[in-house]
Amino acid sequence: MVGCIVTCEWTSPYEVTITEMDEIATSFHYCKYRRDENQLYIFADDSVPRWVTEAQHIDFDTMAGADKFGNIYFARLPQDISDEIEEDPTGGKIKWEQGKLNGAPNKVEEIVQFHVGDVVTSLQKASLIPGGGECLIYGTVMGSVGALLAFTSREDVDFFSHLEMHLRQEHPPLCGRDHLAYRSAYFQ
């Protein structure tokens, strides 16, 4: 059965990232377009099977995705592979023909994963204030709206770590479960 394409993001005139959604778990596929052959060659894919509900292009090598289990994750193409494909005159065709475990010859790296707790139906890259840095805003099936913002300085990390610590002390959990234990129950 042929999968349904959810997103098709052109990252350059000859490079495209394709996200599939169908009955089988797939994720991101990085492709190189060969104009002379009028064909797409998959040169990298995700080694983790995922049921993608939404995807967003972050930068040239990075994609953000959400799956049906309530996770948001970021997958990045390693820099050495990106450079290698740009310099390859065949556009990755030789490596594509070899394949690896019935997949692409290269694999993307998962750089972060966060469990939202609800199925994410919308991902949008936006700025919260004019002239400010971009963040990833998400919406869920139950109507929640959230934002993921990268910290740009050590001061930001310290501020939010202290804020979290003080909130934990001021408002203990209603069910008695420790916040630190909850957040690290499955992800180390």
Answer positive or negative: Cα dihedral of 10, 16, 21, 22: positive
Residue 141, pLDDT > 90, answer yes
| pLDDT number for residue 188 | 43
Residue 152: per-residue pLDDT: 86
**Average pLDDT, stretch 77-92?**
68
Interior angle at CA 168, CA 148 and CA 135, nearest 5: 10
Asked if pLDDT for residue 18 goes beyond 70, the answer is no
Rounded to the nearest integer, the mean pLDDT of the chain is 78
The structural domains of the chain, with segments of one domain joined by +, span 4-118, 151-188
Predicted local distance difference test score (pLDDT) of residue 187: 45
Output the DSSP codes for 130-184: TTPPEEEEEEETTS-EEEE----SHHHHHHHHHHHHHHHHHS--TT---HHHHHT
Q: What is the pLDDT of residue 117?
A: 87
Backbone torsions φ then ψ of 72, nearest 5 degrees = -110, 135
Q: What is the pLDDT of residue 32?
A: 78
Answer with the residue of higher pLDDT: 69 or 32: 69
